[in-house]
Structure 1
Amino acid sequence: INLLFYANALIQGILNKCLKIHMVHMLFVTHVLLFIAVITIVVLMIEEYRRTKDSELKIIMNAFGIMAVAGVLSLCMYWKLEIPFYGTIFEVGVLIFEQLLLTSIFVNLVEQAKTRSELEVYERLLKEDRMTGINNRTAFEEQLQDIEDHAQDYDNAALIFMDVDGLKNTNDLYGHNAGDELIISAALCIKNVFATYGKCYRIGGDEFCVLIFDSIENVDELLKQMDQEIIKYNRNNRYYLSIARGVSFLKDTEGKQKKISDWKYEADQDMYCNKKRRNINDRL
């Protein structure tokens, strides 16, 4: 159809230039082509609409239908009734056509915005731990993969593994509701201290971790702040909270970046050493 219109314009231009035929006398051909084009597109869209029931397509069909009617009316007014303002009818049809198309575009943009919002919510839910509201293991693994894939973008980082001490004993003695309370409280203490400096994750039942990308020189100070948060919690609650922790830095003392597996292993081993020291101190 596009090629027909281009050919029509070229031929009419040649006829006007060489044979001095006025363009208005060849307007009928253009109108016929336009009518055929609109009818063809409407028919194709009707078939598509029957198959998909797309609301946006329905609006576009109505737009083309109105334009087709306007085209037929202007043809009749010009060729049969010889009414001089036939062009106004067609222009009104084109105006309505454009307004309907703009409406279609607006509706489509609203739908896209709604879909994007829903996708963002679903993505957040997929990466959020439902019990504590912090990031879950999926988000943690994605972050580690990003660090591995874009190592050049990370100067250094600290990984802190944490584990709630004695959660099984709390569950056995007081029930799982008490254990859930400890998990939620542990997440709150961790988030209160580390959320400003990095990302907090719950990666297992009683296991948490934190990734810090800035101010890594303050890790020891931040751990002391977390201890203070835990002390405040234990003053006002019946279930005792204790959190073991282990720290590892992405780069070694020589500035060489570690493998992600080694980085995690070091933090994990440091945490279990911390847990053993805590158990020994508790027995003493």
Structure 2
Amino acid sequence: MNLNQKKLPVLVICIAVAVSFLVVMAIAGWSGKDDSMRLENAEKRYIDTGASCLEGGVRKEIRSYPYRSEGKEGYFYLQLPEDIIDGTVLVLPNGYQKIEVSLNGKPLYEYGMYNASPYYMEARINCDIRLPAGSGGQELEIHLINTEKAGNAVLQQGYLTTAGEMTDGILADNLWALLFCVMSAISGICILAMSLWQHVKKAEDSPMIFFFLGLFALLSSAWVFTDSGLPQLIFDDSQMLMVLSFELFMLMPVPLLLFVQLVCEYSRKVFGILVTGYIANFLVQNVAYAVKISDFKHMVYLTHILIIVSIIAIAYYIMRGAVNRHSLYARWTLGGVGIFAGFSSLSLLSFYETGGNQNEKFFIIGFFIFLSILIMLAIHKFQEVSEESARSEVLQGLAYKDMMTGLGNRTLYEEHITSFEAGRSAEITGVIALDINNLKEVNDRFGHRTGDELLKLAARCLREAFGNRGMYYRIGGDEFVIILKGAYIGEDECRRLLGSCIKKHNDSLDIKLSVSMGYAAPDRETGTAAIRELIEKADARMYEEKKRFHNGR
């Protein structure tokens, strides 16, 4: 049975499982189509009207969001609806700006406005402004300050909700980020485990390829988490998370470039230079922040420049690799990296277009496509390895097996003898040399097919006589060697066991099997002997018996 025939039952079973699953799910879906268990999304009442901005001493109505003021500092006014209930919360998305909100001159909310620390940086957060009872119909004053060197104060569209629904809303808005963090973290851990397994197996580049890929997945998971709105549900310290997000963003490309460096072996110098650039950028920005020269927000453009250069380099070497590389895996891997680099470019453009709001969505999409390609390649590679392993086992069996008798051949015999000479001879309890009598005459008179049947019968009798106590080899045309292991069997017992089997089969045959046998065993007292010395003794005694057989005819 060949490999394709062996795979056919597995394929049929897989198809049957898939079809049964689809049928059952279709039945279940049809039967429950009138019911719904979906939870309603948290209610968000977006404020579409009643907003204005003070520009040139005159209020200007805001008709679309996000709205940019004329300067870095902006004063905005928001008319609250009349019908808001007690416990209402106004949620204002805010990206990297100081903000202060007041009602009738009374401060309601403040973020970063009065923090004078030179290390302080505003984060991208959702500002939750708890509205006091009876505030319906009144006007909020919102003071925003953009601390970027270039950029104006920006007001994002806010919405009204309750405290409990606000948490649900933030979770819903960041659901894809949450799924990405969980899946990429699990993938990273699994890939690192594979790297450890490859390291134990002492593979060449494979452990490092998996290590860098797994590290990139974990760093990506951590960066998306810190750059999303999810930390607001858990942590209070926005400053530490802000710095951590920048640190991860600077380090994240390094393992990806090292991964590409190993896959594109002809471009290792270029990507090595880029890796050095990222590490230098990381150290320079940390020093500049520590000594109060600048902060990470104002230095992020350095990392963006490096990313653009990296994307260009990846694109160039991917196109070059598509021409020069004939390996399916190399091409698809580089293609996956290229797709990911393309989506990273869109993420970078989105950062400047939206002011950093949800720019990680393109990154997440690109990463999922990249990871999906790697998973498909891994599955395909696993199938190939499994098939190759099966073929290797078959070929190994052919290389070491005598096709006529099913016993070990001369190659296997010599390898085992070498192994015994290297220190395993203590396992041997005896050696038998065997030769079929008159095989040439049988071949000449009755044909080679009859002679072949005698060879097969001899092998069968040997197995029946000694079972798993022997290692069997056909080392020549009609010559066999049996190496006995385990419990000691004397020569008389060996002759009795073998003779009994031969007699049992000969009773039903016209052409009888006759053999000459030689036996040798280690010294019973010392229990040791050189394997080749035992074989020579057994072989000599077999030829003496064969000579007596011919002389006695």
Instruction: Tell me, yes or no, whether TM beats 0.5.
Output: yes
Counterpart in the other structure of 1:141 = 414
- Give the distance between the partners of 2:293 and 2:379, measured in 1 at CA: 45
- Give the distance between the partners of 1:89 and 1:209, measured in 2 at CA: 70
Alignment check: 8 A CA contact 1:245 1:274 kept? yes
Per the TM alignment, residue 89 of structure 1 is displaced from its structure 2 partner at its CA by 1.4
- Give the distance between the partners of 1:63 and 1:54, measured in 2 at CA: 14
Q: Give the counterpart letter for 1:240 in structure 2.
A: K
Alignment check: 8 A CA contact 1:194 1:200 kept? no
Q: How does 1:121-132 map to 2 (within 5 A)?
A: 121-132=394-405
- Give the distance between the partners of 1:121 and 1:5, measured in 2 at CA: 50
Instruction: Name the larger-Rg structure.
Output: 2
Alignment check: 8 A CA contact 2:318 2:338 kept? no
Change (3 A) 1:48 1:264: farther
Change (3 A) 1:154 1:81: same
Alignment check: 8 A CA contact 2:431 2:481 kept? yes
Counterpart in the other structure of 1:248 = 520
- Give the distance between the partners of 1:14 and 1:248, measured in 2 at CA: 81
Moved more, 38-47 or 192-201: 38-47
Counterpart in the other structure of 2:370 = 97
Structure 1 runs (4+) greater than 6 angstroms displaced: none
> In the alignment, is residue 274 of structure 1 matched against residue 545 of structure 2?
yes
Per the TM alignment, residue 22 of structure 1 is displaced from its structure 2 partner at its CA by 3.4
Change (3 A) 1:222 1:258: closer
Instruction: Name the structure with the higher strand share.
Output: 2
Per the TM alignment, residue 142 of structure 1 is displaced from its structure 2 partner at its CA by 0.7
Report sequence identity in percent. Answer: 29
- Give the distance between the partners of 1:199 and 1:42, measured in 2 at CA: 59
Three-state SS of the structure 1 residue aligned to 2:526 is coil
Moved more, 109-118 or 156-165: 109-118
> In the alignment, is residue 58 of structure 1 matched against residue 369 of structure 2?
no
Deviations 1:184-205 (A, max 9, x none): 1111111222341121111111
Per the TM alignment, residue 24 of structure 1 is displaced from its structure 2 partner at its CA by 3.3
Moved more, 163-172 or 29-38: 29-38
Q: Give the counterpart letter for 1:68 in structure 2.
A: A
Alignment check: 8 A CA contact 1:35 1:68 kept? no
Q: 1:88 aligns with which of 351, 361, 364?
A: 361
- Give the distance between the partners of 1:129 and 1:60, measured in 2 at CA: 43
Change (3 A) 1:36 1:221: farther
Per the TM alignment, residue 253 of structure 1 is displaced from its structure 2 partner at its CA by 4.9
Q: 1:265 aligns with which of 527, 536, 553?
A: 536
Q: Give the counterpart letter for 2:277 in structure 1.
A: L
Counterpart in the other structure of 1:238 = 510
Change (3 A) 1:186 1:42: farther
Q: How does 1:1-284 map to 2 (within 5 A)?
A: 1-19=274-292, 21-82=294-355, 84-151=357-424, 154-217=426-489, 220-249=492-521, 251-253=522-524, 255=526, 257-279=528-550, 283=553
Change (3 A) 1:134 1:102: same
Instruction: Name the structure with the higher helix share.
Output: 1
- Give the distance between the partners of 1:49 and 1:237, measured in 2 at CA: 67
Alignment check: 8 A CA contact 2:506 2:513 kept? yes
- Give the distance between the partners of 1:34 and 1:268, measured in 2 at CA: 75
Per the TM alignment, residue 278 of structure 1 is displaced from its structure 2 partner at its CA by 3.8
RMSD: 2.3
Alignment check: 8 A CA contact 2:429 2:484 kept? yes
Q: Which runs of 5+ in 2 are unaligned?
A: 1-273
Deviations 1:221-273 (A, max 9, x none): 34322211111111112211011111112x33552744444222101011122
Counterpart in the other structure of 2:177 = none
Counterpart in the other structure of 2:50 = none
Change (3 A) 1:117 1:84: same
Counterpart in the other structure of 2:149 = none
The higher-RCO structure (CA 8 Å, 6+ apart) is 1
Per the TM alignment, residue 118 of structure 1 is displaced from its structure 2 partner at its CA by 1.8
Change (3 A) 1:51 1:159: farther
Change (3 A) 1:237 1:41: farther
